[in-house]
Structure 1
Amino acid sequence: MLQILVWGGSFFLLAVMGKPILHETGWDSGWVYGALSLALMVSALLAPLSSRLVARYGGRWQLAASGAVVGLGLLVVANCHSLQVFLLAWVIIGAGMAMGLYEALFATLGALYAERAGRAITGITLISGFATTVTWPVLALAIEQLGWRTACMAYALVLIVAVAPLYLWVLPAGQPRQKAQSMTAVADQPVHRRLYWLLTAIFAIGAIIMTAVSVQLVAVLQGQGHSLAAAIGLSALLGPSQVASRVLQIIAGKRHPIWTALVSSVLVAVGLTLVAVAPGMTALGLLLYGCGNGLRAIVRGLLPLALMPPAQYVALMGKMSRPSLIGQALTPLVGGYLFQHFGATGVLATLSALALTSVVLVLLVVHGLPRQTA
């Protein structure tokens, strides 16, 4: 629930609040929606520092403070009357995202529970899959009843009041100093560079595809000839399929996460290819893509934990996430360029090619694993 609150007040906020802000302020839409790209870039720059702090001190207090930082950013958004201050608010929100979203939480769980963190990570990604289902209707209702500024202030107050006490209650007190020092020593040991770059590339490609689909799917489907209503209806298939795949992952039990990664990448590649080359099978393609993308968040948390010592996992989560966050920040711009110059076909062809590349990269990881693991 805490992750739903923080995701809803940061990454997913402008999807609902963007139009009311544009309507009142008259600011350029590129700058308003580009504020999220700015926040993602700030989060990318701060992510390695966030992981190092978790490795050294444990992430309990950092996660607790993340709600207050995002809440402060939202208070600035609610009270701003210039575009410059609005963008400054999203710099603050970006800092809160680095402190409190998946990478920081996964690193904290890895520091606390080492290999046993996997079950908690799987459960959290399952519940967090309902972030938009919960926060978008609530935000929309609050905006309709109170206006976007008051709704933003109310959400900020919820974050400030609720997040810190609940994190401090749920997470045990930080790791002993001796354990933190030993983790730091292990984290300073050299990591297998080939494995590190393969995992980083896999996660970055997955994040880019997810962002492009989230931002452009409705427009791309319309570009293929679907009506607006049909495009929205088809897009609605993603949420249930993502959650269903995470439930199936829990039921499947203990298997090496590399196989989850392979299944995820294949489903995404097959799903996007179907959408690209067989418009009549768009529904099936989106269901397959949704299932694969639903597993992606689990893979991002579990696969590095299975392939490297927990201390390195904790220290490197932020560093590994930096290319993903930068890619997410740039994706709307690049995707918009592709759509403008090459249409829906160009966007889908690019995404399909990226998805197929991800399959190849996962197979390279499988090939490099010890035989007893693979």
Structure 2
Amino acid sequence: MLAALLCADQGYRVNTATLPPRPGPARIALLGVLQILSWGGSFYLLGVLADPIAHDTGWSHQWVLGGASIGLLVASLLSPRVGRLIARVGGRKVIAAHGLIMAVGLAMMALAPNLAVYLLAWVVLGAAMATGLYDALFTSLGATYGMQARPIIVGVTLISGFCTTVIWPLLALMVHLLGWRGTCGAFAVLVLVALFPLYRLALPEHVNAPAHQRAEQGAGEPLAPSIYWVMTALFAIAAALMTCISIVLLTVLQARGHSLASAIALAALVGPAQVLCRVIDLALKRQAPLFTALLSSGMTAIGLLVVEFVPSLVAWGLVCYGAGNGLRAIVKSTLPLVVVRPADYAVVSGRMARPALLAQAVAPIACGYLISTLGSEAMIHMLAAMALLAFGLCLWLARLIAQRQALHGQAAV
């Protein structure tokens, strides 16, 4: 039963006759570019601006970086409400408004006269992250198109996967020319004139399903609490793992004896591996999210175990990790469609996003504490253990879903 479930196409379907037209390649590419701007103006902003802000203002570097944690905390608190809002009015309005919210947050940061206003700007940017990053966009696409959203999501991640490649050099150039305050102000103008109108162009209008279709969508079994919590824990651990590695990878590699240049070169392997696995996934045109989830968590675990125990093969370990992590965004947006009714998808996805965002908010603090108290080797052990735990949860989830499908089969007979 489990083997058949892994190989078969899975997920609740939506009535294609009532769907708005799916975005073509041009609009998918546009969504990918807009996501680069969305992530660059929020989640990845301090990758370049943290040092200039701390140097110019004299504010503690820890507090400057803490702004991002505050933003992620706010995003986690708002994510369930955003899911309900998307279910009610559609993703087009919510995600377009994200551009306005982000512009306000960046403008506040540019004008911040003190640390309190700077941190308040991150509260606003947290609201922007909740309403416009992957969670909101993919929830909107999944609620609209069901499993047919998968190739759209993969296409968006192919483009947006180059975010840091594009955004960090752009931000560095802007800081050099305008200073950090000028950069925040200019980026605020950019997202204001780009995100609001272009998201409205790229995303379809919200279409209320007819009453008979809503009844059909709501006719299935409710989501079992065991499946919900295992899936939520899996997403939270995977999100924390990704955040931890993005923060400590260079530190860990240098502690293992690599020079800074060598560590950067090795870390650079992760990005192409992420993109390559998404290209392969798009080419295969499979609709088997559970298999993809096991592949993602398994490759991530194997990659980090190689990094930990086989230092001579660290490059291959990072490629394997990158491939597994590259599938993570696809898994997070499509795996719930295996067990969640289309009518409930946006609300359930919003609820599942909260623990993952909380884990990402706590991860920088936890990583810093672990490295400072127990050292880099303890950090490597922790990363590998988290990856193994995620793979174990994925296996458990597959078993729970197989049992659920078996019960449905018996009920049908």
TM-score w.r.t. length of structure 2 = 0.87
The answer to whether the 8 Å contact 2:106/2:185 transfers is yes
Deviates more, 1:119-128 or 1:261-270: 119-128
Aligned partner of 2:44 among 9, 12, 15: 12
Aligned partner of 1:88 among 107, 111, 120: 120
CA distance in 2, matches of 1:128, 1:186: 34
Displacement of 1:190: 3.8
Residue by residue over 1:6-59, the C-alpha shift from the partner in whole angstroms, topping out at 9 and shown as x without a partner, is 011000000011111111011101100011000000000000000001111111
CA distance in 2, matches of 1:283, 1:215: 18
Alignment correspondent of 1:151: 183
Judging changes above 3 Å, is the alpha-carbon distance between structure 1 residues 189 and 45 closer, same or farther for their aligned structure 2 residues? farther
Q: How many residues align?
A: 374
CA distance in 2, matches of 1:323, 1:187: 28
CA distance in 1, matches of 2:389, 2:300: 11
Alignment correspondent of 2:394: 362
Displacement of 1:185: 8.8
Residues 1-374 of structure 1 mapped to structure 2, 5 A cutoff? 1-176=33-208, 178=210, 182=214, 186=218, 190-370=222-402
Displacement of 1:103: 1.3
CA distance in 2, matches of 1:13, 1:165: 22
Displacement of 1:115: 2.7
Judging changes above 3 Å, is the alpha-carbon distance between structure 1 residues 95 and 131 closer, same or farther for their aligned structure 2 residues? same
- Look up the SS of the partner of 2:113 in the other structure: coil
Residue by residue over 1:138-180, the C-alpha shift from the partner in whole angstroms, topping out at 9 and shown as x without a partner, is 1111111121111111111111111111111122221127569
Query: Aligned letter for 1:299?
Result: V
The gaps in structure 1 that reach 5 residues or longer are none
The answer to whether the 8 Å contact 2:217/2:342 transfers is no
Query: Aligned letter for 2:230?
Result: L
Aligned CA RMSD, in angstroms, stands at 2.2
The gaps in structure 2 that reach 5 residues or longer are 1-32, 407-413
Deviates more, 1:277-286 or 1:12-21: 277-286
Deviates more, 1:99-108 or 1:33-42: 99-108
Judging changes above 3 Å, is the alpha-carbon distance between structure 1 residues 253 and 235 closer, same or farther for their aligned structure 2 residues? same
CA distance in 2, matches of 1:362, 1:51: 24
Judging changes above 3 Å, is the alpha-carbon distance between structure 1 residues 185 and 92 closer, same or farther for their aligned structure 2 residues? farther
Residue by residue over 1:280-310, the C-alpha shift from the partner in whole angstroms, topping out at 9 and shown as x without a partner, is 2211111111111011111111111233211
* Identical pairs, percent: 47
The answer to whether the 8 Å contact 2:147/2:287 transfers is no
CA distance in 1, matches of 2:317, 2:340: 34
Larger Rg computed on CA atoms: 2
The answer to whether the 8 Å contact 1:70/1:96 transfers is yes
Residue by residue over 1:213-237, the C-alpha shift from the partner in whole angstroms, topping out at 9 and shown as x without a partner, is 0011111111112111111111111
Alignment correspondent of 2:22: none
The answer to whether the 8 Å contact 1:184/1:311 transfers is no
Judging changes above 3 Å, is the alpha-carbon distance between structure 1 residues 174 and 183 closer, same or farther for their aligned structure 2 residues? farther
Displacement of 1:93: 0.2
